[in-house]
Structure 1
Amino acid sequence: MSLRFILTLCGLALLIGCSTTTPLPNPEPRICDGHLQSLYHQARDRGIADVQEQPLSPFPYLRADRTLWSLLGDLQTESQRREWLEISLELGRQALRSDHANLGSDHPIDSLENCLEQQSQHLIQDASWPERLATIPYPSRYRTELQVIGLYPLTSRLMGLPLQDLHEELKSRFYQGPQLPTRQYQPASPARLPPGQIRQWLTEAYQRSHLGLPVMTPSRQQQLFAHYAPVWEIEQGGDFDLPGAPRWLNDEPGVNPLEVVTYTHSSYTRWNNRWLLQLSYLVWFDQRPPASNWLDIYAGKLDGLYLRITLDERGQPLLLDSIHPCGCYYSVLPLQTSLQLKTEASIGEPPLLLKPAQYQSGQRLRVSISSQDHMLIGADWGRKEADANRYQLQSSDELRRLPWGAGSQNLFSSPKGLVSGTQRAEKILLWPSGIESPGAMRQWGHHAIAFSSERHFDDPDLLQQIFEAAVNRQDGSD
């Protein structure tokens, strides 16, 4: 590794480290601005500040995710800036409500949210802030200083060596399918939308948006989540295979299997010059138990599985992809022949490519999960839904303010968005990747999903990074 490379990385680390504030115009002094600042600093100093999205300093509760950040260069009109800020405002509201609840603040939340709206209005007429903000990169979840110390150009190759064997093992388990006994869980309200309804809603959403984002109303979004909510089929080997709602017990994370919940999150991705809607479903387990009496570097408290469905502009499923809440085991399952995985030479570390059963319109997706390590071992449609246990759908925002004693507590801690107590011994081997505590469970927006490359699960360009258009055709129908 050359001295030039080391100096370049060190310089980049310093640049990123210095870019902690954003060049936005300061608001006119108001008493309520001080209240928001005070609340934010209290939460930050106590290590409980919500860090799902990036604050827009000096406005601690105006927030932006990677999607909004990627749009900064496109904000040419007041209507576009207004829509961008409306989304930023809603992201900020969730962070504000979480910090307010977790601090047990007695300041009226309504007045704080009103002040937040005033701060948003302050920026609408200013056409210059998007360009200034765009000069700062969105924070990476890879720490450059760790890569420098860990000789990343060399160790990244070593970390990539076991990948092919791991992928072959996981493919074999996927095509073999689940082994009995299994237990199935289906949504408590398995509502299905009539044919053509989703396409109509998406058409209307595209027409409303000045940014090209298919933003759904809260009611329609909930109906979409219910429509596509999967049946979970889980191998049963012990209590560690029972899904549930995360909770804190004696300051340790775990799940309550009597409260079966699947958590939802919506996001957007770019494909063929269009923004597409993504629906994510997250199921939690109490732990990943050791595979044997010997040291298992992957075992630890809490485990889970993310399943994300990307819809094309007509509302047809285009892609399934999946990770564990640590960001590990990134898998892609194309549902249309128009998607073709790029070569490894062009994308770096390849994802696990799986071929699910052909999509069946009108049928519910069934996702199979293995016992103990909770791997994705099946995805199909069309089978009759058997009598199953029921689960509730809840927004993943609920994880940011879990009931705890007489108040609430964020499942994720600041400033890294990790779940305390879920560290894995694998970090001893994988820290040169630059990922903070590899194997630990973490919050949305903090999932680095490659060890020998750099890739983020919430990157709106992820689909374009790893796939190319194979043919120009339309698949499926309503």
Structure 2
Amino acid sequence: MPYAARPLCFQLALTLLLTALAGCAGINVAEVDRVAVRESRASIKASLHDCHAGYDALDAMARDLGTVDARYQRVEGLAHLRTSRFLASFDVAALSEAAYQRWLKHQNSHAVEGLFIEWLRLPPASQQQLSHYWPGDQAAVKRALSDCGGALVAHQAELPRLTGMTTDGQYQNWKRWAGLYPLAVMPFYLGVVNEHRNLQQQQREFANNDTERAGQWTHYLQPLPTPSPAEALELLRQQPLDELGIPLLGSAIEEQLLDAFMPALAIKNTHGAAADNDRPAHLIADASGAIQRDTTQPTVYTHVSHGRYQGQVTLQLNYSVWFAERKAEQALDLLAGEFDGITWRVHLLPSGAVLGYDKMHQCGCWYQFFPAEGLDAQPALPRTQEPFNIGRTLHPEQRHTLWLAANTHHLLGVQAANAPRATQPLTVQPYAQLRALESPDGHYYSPFDAQGLVPESRRPERLVFWPMGIPSPGAMRIHGTHAIAFIGYRHFDDPWLLEELGLE
């Protein structure tokens, strides 16, 4: 048992050493030291074997039963590591020893998080089968995974470096070949350009109709007082960086940053009131494991991620909102279906500079970037790559309100947040909660399947857009799996996205 075996092995080695030193005056001390070292190394080796076996057993069980968590990508053959496009972007060969160990620790942290979520979602009988490796309650299992992870990372750091690590893209090239992509891409390209023009036209019209907003919207706002963006950025400037250049944020600082840039929401009413499918939903699991969308508790889900910009690591503040559905607006509406939502993201430098903002729907569709004032996005893209939709510049130290259309939830405008007299409170939850939702009977479920998709959210558009190579286009999916371009290749979590945008 990894958690119990390591302390026991070290206690045994220490006992042998102390007994030899105290009770055998005629024994050569150097010989006793060698015996103790051999015993300790044997104990550590046994502990590492148990840890590897425990990680592998849990990983295999999750795969077999379909409780795989797709937030981070597995490293085949190394169950104690899970990677991301950000972590895979480092030149491992050029890292110092300390930076390399930190890189491994970040990947083990992702693995511990994912394996624990997968363990939570296992049936009790399967958890019992793994109790030889992971005994006890939730706290004990999480602690054991972390303890084993520390030992495995230390051992991994002594082995030849893991160079050349790559991540899987969210495109299926076989579909592009089967769908005659080179021929199909031109009408899709024209369709994307036309869609960008339509959305930008809607946003211009919205910006010119200030007097028509009052009374037509339902407003949602985080009710608690928070630090201003300027105050939060000053806190960020004071935080140290780890060996990889990643800001070291305590949970309190991270929460303050997320609170400071939390957007307010204004969603257009239908027939004088908010429609049920336009209320930000709180996702819950019922006793059968079905994921329900509770609109009585408007919720925003937050998390922090990272990217790159001009040789520095950026901090990304993510705010995800979910809706019950997008209703059909005509007889054959390819875009309608269960579940809908939008993610808003803020890009920061460790120096406290705001670089810009971007958004996408939870399907990865309708990506748009908004530079911060003083910066401009001038992407230089080949014709084989989908053009970006660039919005207007935004003030870098303001809270913003996202104005969303009814039903489609398209972003009509981004304005400085001025709280109206009537607002509804937003509950804030960690995004990771979505990966393991507790049902009333104490079991855990997730809206995301092993591929990271929400199966119930499949859209009819997938029958038309499949030649672009995206799995189930239009379906909602977990962060880390969002393709955000039909033409070419582009991911929401691409660490070099700001560079591709030509942000200066």
TM-score using structure 1 length: 0.85
For 1:73, which of 63, 86, 92 is the aligned residue?
A: 92
**300-309 or 336-345, which deviates more:** 336-345
For 1:96, which of 106, 115, 123 is the aligned residue?
A: 115
> 1:365: how far off?
1.2
For 2:496, which of 443, 449, 461 is the aligned residue?
A: 461
- In 2, Cα distance between the equivalents of 1:201 and 1:320? 17
Matched residue type, 2:309: W
For 1:284, which of 287, 305, 322 is the aligned residue?
A: 322
> 1:121: how far off?
1.8
Cα distance 1:75–1:122, how it changes in 2: closer, same or farther (>3 A)? farther
> 1:352: how far off?
1.6
For 1:184, which of 219, 243, 246 is the aligned residue?
A: 219
Matched residue type, 1:221: E
Quote the residue 1:221 is aligned against. 254
Quote the residue 1:351 is aligned against. 388
- In 2, Cα distance between the equivalents of 1:197 and 1:233? 24
Quote the residue 1:447 is aligned against. 482
Cα distance 1:291–1:89, how it changes in 2: closer, same or farther (>3 A)? same
For 1:274, which of 312, 316, 333 is the aligned residue?
A: 312
Quote the residue 2:131 is aligned against. none
Give the conservation status (yes or no) of the 8 Å contact 1:52–1:443.
yes
Matched residue type, 2:63: R
> 1:267: how far off?
1.5
CA-to-aligned-CA distance 1:336-370 (integer Å, 9 cap, x gap): 332222144378211222115x4163x42111111
- In 2, Cα distance between the equivalents of 1:187 and 1:74? 45
Quote the residue 1:337 is aligned against. 374
Cα distance 1:430–1:260, how it changes in 2: closer, same or farther (>3 A)? same
- In 1, Cα distance between the equivalents of 2:235 and 2:225? 21
- In 1, Cα distance between the equivalents of 2:228 and 2:494? 29
> 1:283: how far off?
0.3
Does 2:79 align with 1:43?
Answer: no
For 1:130, which of 159, 162, 175 is the aligned residue?
A: 162
How many pairs were matched up? 434
> 1:28: how far off?
7.8
> 1:281: how far off?
0.3
CA-to-aligned-CA distance 1:269-294 (integer Å, 9 cap, x gap): 222222211101000000010012x0
**438-447 or 183-192, which deviates more:** 183-192
CA-to-aligned-CA distance 1:383-430 (integer Å, 9 cap, x gap): 34544111122211001001234211122110x110111100101111
> 1:111: how far off?
2.2
> 1:234: how far off?
1.0
- In 1, Cα distance between the equivalents of 2:375 and 2:148? 47
- In 2, Cα distance between the equivalents of 1:364 and 1:302? 27
Give the conservation status (yes or no) of the 8 Å contact 1:202–1:214.
no
Give the conservation status (yes or no) of the 8 Å contact 1:359–1:380.
no
Matched residue type, 1:411: P
Q: Which is helix-richer, 1 or 2?
A: 2
Quote the residue 2:344 is aligned against. 307
* Identity over aligned pairs, percent: 26
- In 2, Cα distance between the equivalents of 1:284 and 1:181? 21
- In 2, Cα distance between the equivalents of 1:445 and 1:281? 14
Give the conservation status (yes or no) of the 8 Å contact 2:266–2:403.
yes
Quote the residue 1:255 is aligned against. 293
Give the conservation status (yes or no) of the 8 Å contact 1:98–1:410.
no
- In 2, Cα distance between the equivalents of 1:302 and 1:82? 40
Give the conservation status (yes or no) of the 8 Å contact 1:59–1:119.
no
- In 1, Cα distance between the equivalents of 2:201 and 2:447? 34
Does 2:172 align with 1:147?
Answer: no
RMSD: 2.3
For 1:235, which of 264, 268, 273 is the aligned residue?
A: 268
Which secondary structure does the structure 1 equivalent of 2:332 belong to? coil
Cα distance 1:251–1:99, how it changes in 2: closer, same or farther (>3 A)? closer
TM-score using structure 2 length: 0.81
- In 2, Cα distance between the equivalents of 1:36 and 1:324? 34
Which secondary structure does the structure 1 equivalent of 2:305 belong to? strand
Cα distance 1:403–1:196, how it changes in 2: closer, same or farther (>3 A)? closer
Unpaired runs of 5+ residues, structure 2, are 1-44, 129-134, 207-211
> 1:173: how far off?
1.8
> 1:248: how far off?
4.1
> 1:303: how far off?
0.2
> 1:317: how far off?
2.5
Cα distance 1:96–1:161, how it changes in 2: closer, same or farther (>3 A)? same
Give the conservation status (yes or no) of the 8 Å contact 2:229–2:261.
no
- In 1, Cα distance between the equivalents of 2:313 and 2:403? 29
> 1:265: how far off?
1.8
Unpaired runs of 5+ residues, structure 1, are 1-25, 470-478
Quote the residue 1:413 is aligned against. 449
- In 2, Cα distance between the equivalents of 1:303 and 1:65? 25
CA-to-aligned-CA distance 1:419-457 (integer Å, 9 cap, x gap): 111100101111111110000010111000000121000
> 1:197: how far off?
5.1
Give the conservation status (yes or no) of the 8 Å contact 2:48–2:152.
no
CA-to-aligned-CA distance 1:123-174 (integer Å, 9 cap, x gap): 1233x3232xx1x531011011111111112212221121222112111222
- In 1, Cα distance between the equivalents of 2:307 and 2:376? 14
Matched residue type, 1:317: V
**52-61 or 83-92, which deviates more:** 52-61
Which secondary structure does the structure 1 equivalent of 2:333 belong to? coil
